[in-house]
Chains A and B, each alone.
Chain A
């Protein structure tokens, strides 16, 4: 059973701080990694993708990937109350079926 593990939180940070969200995965053959943001009562929205070891930055978001440790993280700099949401980590399954395995998500609250 391929698994994606996330700390369920809740993670609470003050406005302007850095929020750090973590994810580990079990399938060593996984090649594609995604972060989705899900506001309460809404559908998941793709915010970051990463495919190679290292960092990928997009605005206030940075995704980090370490395939040797089977670890992927998302950093949110200068956190805003509008960043309060549940963040889902998703990892592709090996075998070319284009299926993703999702973690259960980490709930982030940014306090004004």
Chain B
């Protein structure tokens, strides 16, 4: 199993550009999550999903959108990139009925 995979690993965006961060898991986990991690600030939950077709906002959803059309994929969309979105983004998944989360390798995003 590859676990949780994320693409791209690195990306530089100009202000106002859009992009999609991809996340795929092959563990048949129902729950998936998107976090951002800023230096010294810990992990902040952006959006999460409890299954295909069901998504909900986390702590810091503004400026982001998600969709969950399959169990495996949970892409994160940035519509109008802003410098405040410069961060490291992690996708994670967990099996239904359990709370432990397994993380992907992350995407380092810079908006200039």
B residues 33-75 in Cβ contact with A at 8 Å: 33, 40-43, 45, 48, 50, 58
Residue total for B at the interface (Cβ-Cβ under 8 A): 22
Q: In the complex, are the beta carbons of A43 and B104 less than 8 A apart?
A: yes
Complex: A32 Cα to B48 Cα, angstroms: 19
- Which partner residue on chain A sits nearest B91 by CB separation? A43
Partner of B99, one of A8, A45, A92, A102: A92
Question: Does any Cβ of B come within 8 Å of A46's Cβ?
Answer: yes
Whether A45 touches B103, Cβ cut-off 8 Å, given contacts A99-B45, A102-B42, is yes
B17 close to chain A: CB less than 8 A: no
Query: Contacts A43-B90, A44-B90 hold; do A100 and B99 have CB atoms under 8 A apart?
Result: yes
Q: Which residues of B contact A90 (CB under 8 A)?
A: 101
Give the nearest-CB partner of B97 in chain A.
Answer: A98
For B101, the chain A residues whose CB sits under 8 A away are 34, 46, 90, 100
CB proximity to B under 8 Å, residues A2-21: 8
Interface residues on chain A, number (Cβ under 8 Å): 20
Q: Pick the contact of B102 from A8, A46, A105 — CB < 8 Å?
A: A46
Given contacts A98-B50, A98-B99, contact A104 B105 (CB under 8 A): no
- Evaluate contact between A42 and B102: CB separation under 8 angstroms: no
Q: Which 4 A-B pairs have the closest CB atoms?
A: A104-B42, A32-B99, A43-B103, A102-B43
A-B contact pairs, 18 of them (CB 8 A): A8-B40, A34-B101, A43-B90, A43-B103, A44-B90, A45-B103, A46-B100, A46-B101, A92-B99, A98-B99, A99-B33, A99-B45, A99-B48, A99-B58, A102-B43, A104-B40, A104-B42, A105-B42
